[in-house]
Amino acid sequence: MIYLAPMQGYTEAEFRLAWAMFFSGIDVAVSPFIPLSEGIVFRAKHLNDIMPGRNQKLAVVPQVLGNNSEQIIRLARRIADLGYETINWNLGCPKISVAKKQRGSGLLPFPNKIRSILDQVIPNIPVQLSIKTRLGFQSPDEFYELLPVYNDYPLQSLIIHPRIGSQMYEGNLFLEVLDQTINLVKHTIVFSGDISNIRSFEALRKRYPTIEHWMLGRGVLVNPFLPEIILEGSRHLDEATIRHKQYYFAEELYCGLKDKLRNEHTVLNKLKDYWSYFARWFTGEQQVFDTLSRLHSLKEFIHVSNIVLRNNPLASFETRIARPVGKGIQV
């Protein structure tokens, strides 16, 4: 089974809908997190992304971010009212603004607090709970204290990103820690991290033959064909098919963003964020990104990006690096 990772600012409903119209291979998408802050009740607008009417083409598991059990319970019940059967608790987000409030990966150094929250949440929610976790915040050795906590509860799955929070999104994976603990995990494991092409996937699958669930993130942004390539094996896709799907996917995404954001300047900036990854679709990605990033008119941006989509030489799937070009947002 293949999951789409939750990437704040990228894999919201507009992206998921556009992707599902032209590509295949993803079974479930975990939505970008719904934030819960102390003293603030979640707002109705936070549920817009997971409303059933906007998620008919791709199954979704809503994700929540918080450290207050009462708020998590209240939100889980509201999500259940929308027809969902599972929610995901984010214990992986490394952003400093999140972690310093003991949310996301910032909660990982406090396994007793995680246990206390699970003690209250698990018996009081009408949905299953999965957890997305890193190995720790300051050290991967924190996972040796976290795992017994996770194992004590009936989790739907444990999504493991084998980095630590202080790494943000860079640095090597601590695979040796996963090597030592994988047989101790009592839950279904979903592996998340650094699957950018079929070669990296095959290496991980060979290393972890018992893992059957995989989460793709930035790899899908730089190669939207990646999930179906993983499912069907390396196969030749003719250039016309690649161009056609990439072109109309980009067009559908633009239409979705325009309907959602309304303001042209906001849409332009959002498209530039996406194109820090989409530029990897082509050779000379730095030049592609630099050209587009200098544009100040949405109309001109669409015109130039369409020319790129039609005419620029395509990069090989195997050479597409799963990170943004230039100063794009790191997710």
**What are the pLDDT digits (tens) for 95-144?**
999 999 999 999 999 999 999 999 999 999 999 999 999 999 999 999 99
Quote the tokens at residue 239. 């250039």
pLDDT digit string (tens) for 24-61?
999 999 999 999 976 656 677 889 999 999 998 999 99
Q: List Cα–Cα distances, 311 to 194, 221, 291, in angstroms.
A: 29, 20, 15
Sign of the alpha-carbon torsion through 224, 194, 62, 185: positive
Residue 305: band (very low, low, confident or very high) from pLDDT cuts 50, 70, 90: very high
Percentage of the chain modeled with pLDDT above 90? 92
- Cα pseudo-dihedral 270, 103, 165, 159, rounded to 10: -80
Mean pLDDT is lowest, of 38-47, 217-226, 277-286, for 38-47
Average pLDDT estimate for 171-186: 97
The per-residue DSSP string of 245-263 comes to HHHHHHHHHHHHHHHHH--
Nearest to 132 by CA among 152, 116, 120, 114: 114
Average pLDDT estimate for 66-92: 97
pLDDT digit string (tens) for 258-267?
999 989 999 9
Asked whether the beta carbons of 152 and 115 are under 8 A apart, the reply is yes
Asked whether the beta carbons of 33 and 47 are under 8 A apart, the reply is no
Measured from the Cβ of residue 51, the count of other Cβ atoms closer than 10 Å reads 12
pLDDT digit string (tens) for 286-300?
999 999 999 999 999
The helix (H) or strand (E) run that includes residue 308 is helix 298-311
Sign of the alpha-carbon torsion through 267, 273, 278, 282: positive
Quote the tokens at residue 291. 């050209």
> For position 43, what pLDDT does the model report?
72
Three-state secondary structure readout of 166-230: HHCCCCCCCHHHHHHHHHHCCCCEEEECCCCCHHHHHHHHHHCCCCCEEEECHHHHHCCCHHHHH
Nearest to 224 by CA among 289, 160, 309, 295: 309
Question: Under 8 Å CB-to-CB from 44, ≥6 apart: which residues?
Answer: none
Average pLDDT estimate for 195-208: 96
> For position 237, what pLDDT does the model report?
87
> For position 44, what pLDDT does the model report?
75
Residue 235: band (very low, low, confident or very high) from pLDDT cuts 50, 70, 90: low
Q: Which residues pair with 61 in a beta bridge?
A: 30
Quote the tokens at residue 18. 């556009």
When the pLDDT of each residue in the chain is averaged and rounded to a whole number, the result is: 95
> For position 330, what pLDDT does the model report?
46
> For position 328, what pLDDT does the model report?
45
> For position 45, what pLDDT does the model report?
81
> For position 311, what pLDDT does the model report?
97
